[in-house]
Structure 1
Amino acid sequence: MQTKLLEQGVEITSALTIDELDEVKALGFNAVICNRVPGESDDFPEEASYRHKANQLGLAWVHIPVKPGEYSQEDIQAFADSLAHLPRPILAFCRTGKRATHLWAYARRLSDQCELTTLFAAAKEAGVDLEEHRQALESQSA
């Protein structure tokens, strides 16, 4: 498992296995945000077993399932609420890390109007290009 920093206390990673949640805990994370849709691939048939394992490990767990590129205001608000209330550090994941990064950027714009240059730089450093979302991010407001 490789994590990438988005901001202090928030990192992303690609698809996690249930067993990797032990490593998540050992690395010092306190919370996990999952953006995978149950059944989207063979390696993620359902979410309940992940939630159960996270709870056993004492990790806060939030599931905000989204399809790539389909981010509703409710999804963005849920991610923003998670960033505001979950104990840090937080690890967000999806299949590749893109959805988690996209939701993070939208949530940051929604909650504190974070500058686009800051969001784009952090996402780029994490290996995710936000360019296709520029217009929507520019219009995102609290």
Structure 2
Amino acid sequence: MDLRQITKTYSVTPQIAPEDVATLAQMGVKTLICNRPDMENPPALQAAAIQAEAEAHGIDFVFNPFQGHTMTQDHVDEQHDAVADAEGPVVAYCASGNRSTVVWAFGAAGHVPVDDIIARATSFGYPFEQLRPALEAAAARNKG
């Protein structure tokens, strides 16, 4: 598992396995968000397998899957609400962590300066400069 702490309470990681959930529970993670559609994974790594482990360890599980080109405002809102409602640290996962960072970024825009969002993402290997115009537009909407 390759956790990348985006904020004090929100981390992303590439795909996890069911056996990783016990480690997350020991770390105090309270909510686990899957941003990866099941069609991208074999059955052993699909959401139901991870969800079963999460629930067995007392971790809330949110299934919010999308591919980069299919992300909608509903995905952004669901992710943002899951993080806001969490009673402790949140970990979101996808194939590389990028998708989980993108969906966080659009929910954070307007609450976190766009320069900070881009810097955080870039520091973890997710170059978001090309998203600046869209993040600035989201920031204007989210402030409204």
| Same-fold status (TM-score > 0.5) | yes
Which residue does 1:50 correspond to in 2?
Answer: 50
Aligned residue in 2 for 1:116: 114
**Larger helix proportion of the pair:** 2
Q: How many Å separate the matches in 1 of 2:137 and 2:108?
A: 13
**What is the percentage of aligned positions where both structures have the same residue?**
23
- Could you say what secondary structure the match of 2:6 adopts? strand
* Distance verdict in 2 for CA 1:45–1:55, change over 3 Å: closer
Distance (whole Å) between structure 2 residues aligned to residue 20 and residue 47 of structure 1: 13
- Asked if the contact 2:18/2:45 (under 8 Å) is kept, the reply is no
Q: Give the length in aligned residue pairs.
A: 140
Normalised TM-score (structure 1): 0.91
User: 1:84-105 CA deviation, whole Å, 9 max, x = no partner?
Assistant: 1012211111010000000010
**Residues 33 and 91, structure 2, Cα contact 8 Å, conserved in 1:** yes
- Superposed, which structure 2 residues align to 1:63-82 within 5 Å? 63-82=63-82
The two structures have a TM-score, normalised by structure 2, of 0.90
Post-superposition offset of 1:68 = 2.1
RMSD, matched Cα? 1.5
State the partner residue of 1:86. 86
Work out the CA distance in 1 between the residues paired with 2:69 and 2:112.
20
Q: Which segments of 5 or more consecutive residues in structure 2 lack a partner in the other structure?
A: none
Contact 1:13 1:93 in 2 (8 A): yes
Q: Which runs of 5+ in 1 are unaligned?
A: none
* 4+ aligned runs moved over 2 Å, structure 1: 41-46
Contact 1:69 1:99 in 2 (8 A): no
